[in-house]
Amino acid sequence: MEIVGQLQKQFVDFTTSLYREGILDGQFVELQKLQDESTPDFVCELVSEYFQDSEKILTNLTTALQQQVVNFKVVDDHVHQFKGSSSSMGALRVRNMCIAFKSLCEEKNLDGCLRCLQQLKHEFYLVKNKWETLFRLERQILEAGGAVPFVDYRFY
Amino acid sequence: MILLHVIGFGLKVGHLLLILCGWFLSLISLNLLINGGIMTNKISLPHEEGHLWMKMREQISELGCKIHHNYSQYIGSRKVRKNWWRKLLVAWIGLGIISSFSVLWYMSSQSVEKRKETLASMCDERARMLQDQFNVSMNHLQAMSVVVSIFYHGKNPSAIDQRTFARYTDRTAFERPLTSGVAYAVRVLNSEREQFEAQQGWTIKRMDNVEQTPVHEDEYNPADLEPSPVEDEYAPVVFAQDTVSHVISVDMLSGKEDGENVLRARESGKGVLTAPFPLLKTNRLGVILTFAVYKKDLSPDATPTERIQETAGYLGGIFDIESLVEKLLQQLASKQTILVNVYDTSNFSQPISMYGSNTSSDGLRHVSALNFGDPFRKHEMHCRFKQKPPWPWVAITTSVGILIITLLVAQIFHATMNRITKVEDDYHEMMELKKRAEAADIAKSQFLATVSHEIRTPMNGVLGMLHMLMDTYLDETQQDYVRTARESGKALVSLINQVLDQAKIESGKLELEEVSFDLRAILDDVLSLFSGKLQDKRVELAGYVSSKVPSTLVGDPQRFRQIVTNLVGNSIKFTDKGHIFVTVHLGEEVAGLMEVERDPNSTLSGLPVADRTRSMAGFKTFNQEGSPYTSLSSPDNQVNIIVSVEDTGQGIPFEAQARVFNPFMQVGPSISRTHGGTGIGLSISKCLVHLMKGEIGLSSLPQIGSTFTFTAIFTNGGQEVNNQNNFISSEFEGMRALLVDPNPVRAKVSKYHIQRLGIQVEVVSNLNQDFSSLNMLFIEEEVWDKNLGRMDFGISPKVFILSNSVSSTRSIFSAPGVVTPFIVMKPLRASMLAASLQRAMGVGNKEKYRNGELRMLSLNNLLRGRRILVVDDNPVNLKVAAGALKKYGAEVVHAERGKEAISLLTPPHCFDACFMDIQMPEMDGFEATKRIRDTELSINNRIQLGELSVEDYENVSNWHVRIMAMTADVIQATYEECLKCGMDGYVSKPFEAEQLYREVSRFFHTVNDVNP
């Protein structure tokens, strides 16, 4: 039980830091609330779906920005999609980056877009990393026989 | 003459001014009527002024037209126009100067002409007089010649001697005013000389020497003269007037002038004049008039030779011209004004001056011919004015006047043009400012939108947190606080929305929602919103809803709440004692109440209030003839609600009552300092009331209080009026309570709230009752205070004190030795009362009151078993949406493309609703919805026409699937836009339970109605 308590504390601290650093926002809490006994892996599935989708989008974006003549409409569509899924997931920093990216797209600022893409990738891999850590902690808690505590950032 | 000229000129100037005035007027009127095109010039004139005026008017208007044409042509280019009017101004000034000088010239020439005429007439007059007098003298001389002829030559011996002649001539000198002397010379032939000389006793003397060597008068002696040399004939003077007696014996023929004269005289038989010569003795200029005396009467046509032969002698008269003319001029009055010169001009090249100073002959001169009856001699009279011509003051003043008028008009014109330019500049500046202001207005709107959006975002955080807090385990007080905080937060958000709404209301773009709501709950919310504010004031806030008001109404609860909040908030600001009482009735009820006269003292706090009926005096609904409510009550299920907010505040001054509903208008500037607020609330309320097809009115008595009343029309929510089972909570149902309150109005309010919990209430006015069979006892605070210490209720009923303020509750607790009662804080409201009762009675299940779960339960009810299609190109979003809907029990089908959705939603299908993302590649949500609606429409039509059988379409003849837009940006995708392409509503992404509930309840409710 000692281990479980530590893990739970670690989990809470970690989750709290995610909210505090602005990596995640309330939407993720909403998602967690949608998860119940009937759909125990809902969030996990959703996140992996998000990873797949996002990596695809990032590849597409990279390709689109490497074209001789960059079609900014296409870029914008990709970014928009990325923004939509990120905001549904509550990946706040990715979403904000997408918003910045979109405005650069409107300006047709290729250099800015390329820089932004790098930052976007950075943010995405950051949140991916965080989520993976989060789910690992969750699994460890469950394996240790504890209950995953419900953390709502809005109390911090 | 001068006067006439001046008048004529004045008329001309007046005419000119009139033209100018007309021109200015037409210019101004044209400017004024720049768009109208109406010519004010065409105003009909009185007939007598008639034709000329019309002509002038037309000309003026033509001119005006031309000018205006130019003007409007140049209106774009101000610089050109400025130059244009500057040129005009210069031209006008030039014209004025020219005309002024021409007038000066004209008038001075007129005066010169006149002077000339005056001179001429004066000169002529003098000449004529001179001539006349000369003629008179001449005639007399002639007559004398006849006398001489008769008495000297006709008688022998002669009847005349020198003495007779001298005496006669002397005594008749007055007849010849111009002659200084008369002499008679006889003709003596050389042959007769000696005889003659002997007869006379002197020798004939010659004259020429005398002339050549003039001597002094006193030295003059005829005896010194030389005797005349031998000539053919002689003409010695025999008789002479005393004044010229010295010429006796002088031969006239020997004198050069006299000789010629004598010869000419005897040839012509008429008076003959000599050239002027200095007279003997006096040495003054004179002329001699000579008449020949003939021996017998000659016929008028006698030849000169005959005349010479018949000549007997010569009568000469000496005219001293100088003295004579002077004498003459002295007779005339205006002698001083002119100078007269008389010339002998027989020899034209060398005129001989006979009279007058020989001054330089510049300036004005007039020459009058003088005829002295001698054709050989020509005489002229030259007249000049003594003084220089006077300055032509009339001309000068007139021209200066014209110049001044011109300059004044120019000044006016200049000032006008400057003014116009300035006004135009101002206008352009104003336009610029207006543009800027409009831009600023747009910027303001954008700013408001942005800021309110920015505020809403964190406020959503606050609200969400409170929402979460309510889902946690809280005791009743905490729950109430949280609820209040949440409602306040919501009110803040709605206030922000309302600031945005103000713009919408002003542009008429605000639309009301149509959702079902519980009016009583809304009122409770409003009351609890203000309960905090009233804690430190001794003001009782109460709400009462008539039992006839349906529990569920359809309308816009937010707007209704906004109005009530505004009114109550307003009342609270101005009320420091007494009460604020919100009542809700049906229109029909109030119409009945109005007839029953109310006791003015039976109010909530006992203080007098403004009469509510008076605030409704202006309502059309109540002023209609006949029964006003037949039309309002329900063919289409309408409910007319009358809400009154009554306070005992300071009231509104009568003069300010008319304008309290104007935006940003407060009673006085000090009010906003004292009480704050923007003054926008009542204006918004009025607009909202109008949107709800109601009216708002007020009745206020200064220092007594105000009563605001408004009506609003809602639709009945479909449930039965006064449904007894529709209680807030059921655990108190059937319990009995006694309410002790002497004030009937207050008792009614308390009773209403207690009854809402299902408790049977009996009202008594004092404590002298039997409390044994009661579950609870409610006592008004004032009653409790009065009876403090005299109470013994036994143990059976729980005692509740209905209290107004925190401070007074403390005093209750401090009273020792009494049953500790429970305090129920006012304002009373069902949830609060229920919570208090639960705490006191120890009944109830807290978890039941967890709002979130309640809502979730209702969402579950709505969505369970529904088949819902979710369309979104984003798989993550799709999953989230699906997950959320599944959680509420719905069956979810995914589609990633608009086309997919179209094929899935082509009837027959078994979907209850569709949630459609708006921004999708290939085909967006709007387009997909349109196509789905088109397909549905064509199928519906074909079913109706019988082309398709209803059985194939699951017996549904009217296909219309509910489509909800999902959008991340709620502001952008407005409700109207969604409706336009056939959608039924929208939910924001990601899903929020409350919004989802609101939207879903809206149409699944109606779906139930359509397909039960």
Name which of B544-548, B799-803, B949-953 the model is least confident about. B949-953
- Residue pair B559/B692 in contact by the 8 Å Cβ criterion: yes
Percent above pLDDT 70 for chain B: 69
| Nearest residue on chain A to B968, alpha-carbon basis | A84
The DSSP annotation for B575-605 comes to -SEEEEEEEEEEHHHHHHHHHSPPPTT-SSS
Q: Residue B484 is inside which H or E element, if any?
A: helix B476-506
Whole-number Å distance between alpha carbons of B695 and B708: 11
Name which of A95-104, B79-88, B118-127 the model is least confident about. B79-88
Contact A53 B883 (CB under 8 A): no
Give B12's contacts (C-beta < 8 A, 6+ positions apart).
Answer: none
B543-558: average pLDDT: 85
Reported as a pLDDT band with limits 50, 70 and 90, residue B71 is very low
Average pLDDT over chain B reads 73
Highest mean pLDDT among A40-54, B204-218, B649-663: A40-54
Higher pLDDT, B1008 or B13: B13
Going by the DSSP 8-state scheme, the letter that residue B250 receives in this structure is B
Residues of B with CB under 8 A from a CB of A: 461, 464-465, 468, 873-877, 879-880, 883-884, 886-887, 919, 921, 968, 989-992
How many other C-beta atoms lie within 10 A of the C-beta of residue B328? 20
| Nearest residue on chain B to A154, alpha-carbon basis | B465
User: Which residues in chain A touch residue B989, judged by CB atoms under 8 angstroms apart?
Assistant: 84, 87-88
pLDDT at B13: 61
pLDDT at B167 over 80: yes
User: Which residues in chain B touch residue A42, judged by CB atoms under 8 angstroms apart?
Assistant: 883
- Residue pair B24/B68 in contact by the 8 Å Cβ criterion: no
pLDDT at B749: 85
User: Which residues in chain B touch residue A46, judged by CB atoms under 8 angstroms apart?
Assistant: 876, 879-880, 883
Sheet with B891-895, strands from edge to edge, namely B891-895, B867-871, B913-917, B962-967, B985-988
Whole-number Å distance between alpha carbons of B356 and B341: 5
Give the one of A26, A30, A50 whose C-beta lies nearest to B876's C-beta: A50
Looking at the complex, does the CB of residue A71 fall below 8 Å from at least one CB of chain B? no
The DSSP annotation for B415-440 comes to HHHHHHHHHHHHHHHHHHHHHHHHHH
Establish if A156 belongs to a structural domain. Answer: no
User: Which residues in chain A touch residue B880, judged by CB atoms under 8 angstroms apart?
Assistant: 31, 34, 46, 88-89
Q: List C-alpha distances in Å: B992 to B515, B859, B872.
A: 18, 12, 17
Whole-number Å distance between alpha carbons of B1004 and B998: 10
User: Which residues in chain B touch residue A35, judged by CB atoms under 8 angstroms apart?
Assistant: 883
User: Which residues in chain B touch residue A73, judged by CB atoms under 8 angstroms apart?
Assistant: none
- Residue pair B236/B161 in contact by the 8 Å Cβ criterion: no
**Smallest Cα distance from B834 to chain A, Å:** 29
Reported as a pLDDT band with limits 50, 70 and 90, residue B844 is very low
Report how many helices (DSSP H) and strands (DSSP E) chain B contains, helices first. 29, 29
pTM given for the model:
0.39
HSE value, Cβ hemisphere, 13 Å, CA-based, for B62: 6
Establish if A112 belongs to a structural domain. Answer: yes
Q: Do the bridges between strand B272-273 and strand B285-294 make them parallel or antiparallel, or are there none, so unpaired?
A: antiparallel
Q: Locate B577 and state its tokens.
A: 């004692």
Q: Locate B602 and state its tokens.
A: 């039976």
pLDDT at B538 over 60: yes
Contact B887 A27 (CB under 8 A): no
B329-348: average pLDDT: 73
pLDDT at B593: 63
- pLDDT tens across A124-151, in order? 999 999 989 988 888 888 888 777 777 6
Burial state string for B371-386 with b = 16 or more CB within 10 A and e = fewer than 16: ebbbeebbbbbbbbbe
Contact B875 A53 (CB under 8 A): yes
Establish if A106 belongs to a structural domain. Answer: yes
Q: Across the strands, what pairs with B893?
A: B869
Q: Which of B457, B466, B860, B880 to mutate to test the interface with A (most CBs of A within 10 A)?
A: B880
B758-787: average pLDDT: 74
Looking at the complex, does the CB of residue A30 fall below 8 Å from at least one CB of chain B? yes
The DSSP annotation for B149-188 comes to IIIIISSSS-S--HHHHHHHHHHTGGG-TTEEEEEEEE-E
Contact A36 B887 (CB under 8 A): yes
| Nearest residue on chain A to B969, alpha-carbon basis | A84
| Nearest residue on chain A to B462, alpha-carbon basis | A154
Whole-number Å distance between alpha carbons of B343 and B384: 14
Output phi, psi for B413, to 5 deg: -60, -45
Higher pLDDT, B139 or B386: B139
Higher pLDDT, B387 or B47: B387
- pLDDT tens across B386-404, in order? 777 778 788 889 889 988 9
Whole-number Å distance between alpha carbons of B516 and B685: 21
pLDDT at B40: 38
pLDDT at B20: 61
Q: Count CB pairs under 8 A between chains A and B.
A: 62
Whole-number Å distance between alpha carbons of B939 and B945: 10
Establish if A155 belongs to a structural domain. Answer: no
**CA nearest B741: which of B621, B606, B836?**
B606
> Residue B292 carries which side chain, given as an amino acid letter?
A
Going by the DSSP 8-state scheme, the letter that residue B649 receives in this structure is S
- Residue pair B250/B258 in contact by the 8 Å Cβ criterion: no
Q: Locate B608 and state its tokens.
A: 């007098």
Name which of A121-130, B477-486, B823-832, B940-949 the model is least confident about. B823-832
CATH of the domain at A96: 1.20.120.160
pLDDT at B849: 38
B416-438: average pLDDT: 88
Establish if A154 belongs to a structural domain. Answer: no
Establish if A63 belongs to a structural domain. Answer: yes
Establish if A127 belongs to a structural domain. Answer: yes
| Nearest residue on chain A to B917, alpha-carbon basis | A84
Higher pLDDT, B726 or B261: B261
Helices (H), ranges, chain A: 2-20, 26-34, 42-66, 72-89, 92-107, 110-143
pLDDT at B102: 92
Total domains in chain A come to 1
**CA nearest B188: which of B311, B316, B302, B317?**
B311
Q: What is the 3-state secondary structure (H, E, C) of B265-280?
A: HHHHCCCEECCCEECC
Whole-number Å distance between alpha carbons of B523 and B724: 19
**Domain hosting residue A92, numbered range:** 2-149
Region of B393 on the Ramachandran plot (φ > 0 left; ψ -120 to 50 alpha; else beta): alpha
- pLDDT tens across B695-751, in order? 888 888 888 888 888 988 888 876 544 444 445 556 677 778 888 888 888 888 888
Establish if A107 belongs to a structural domain. Answer: yes
**Smallest Cα distance from B902 to chain A, Å:** 22
The DSSP annotation for B315-353 comes to EEEEE-HHHHHHHHHHHSGGGTTEEEEEEE-SSTTS-EE
Going by the DSSP 8-state scheme, the letter that residue A58 receives in this structure is H
Does the N-terminal peptide bond of residue B827 adopt cis geometry, omega within 30 degrees of 0? yes
HSE value, Cβ hemisphere, 13 Å, CA-based, for B122: 23
**CA nearest B802: which of B487, B582, B542?**
B542
Looking at the complex, does the CB of residue A131 fall below 8 Å from at least one CB of chain B? no
User: Which residues in chain A touch residue B876, judged by CB atoms under 8 angstroms apart?
Assistant: 46, 49-50, 53, 84-85, 88-89
Rg over alpha carbons for chain B, rounded to the nearest Å, is 67
Higher pLDDT, B852 or B318: B318
- Residue pair B648/B579 in contact by the 8 Å Cβ criterion: yes
pLDDT at B33 over 60: no
B476-506 helix and B519-534 helix, angle to the nearest 10 degrees:
110
> Which residue is listed with tokens 């007080």?
B477
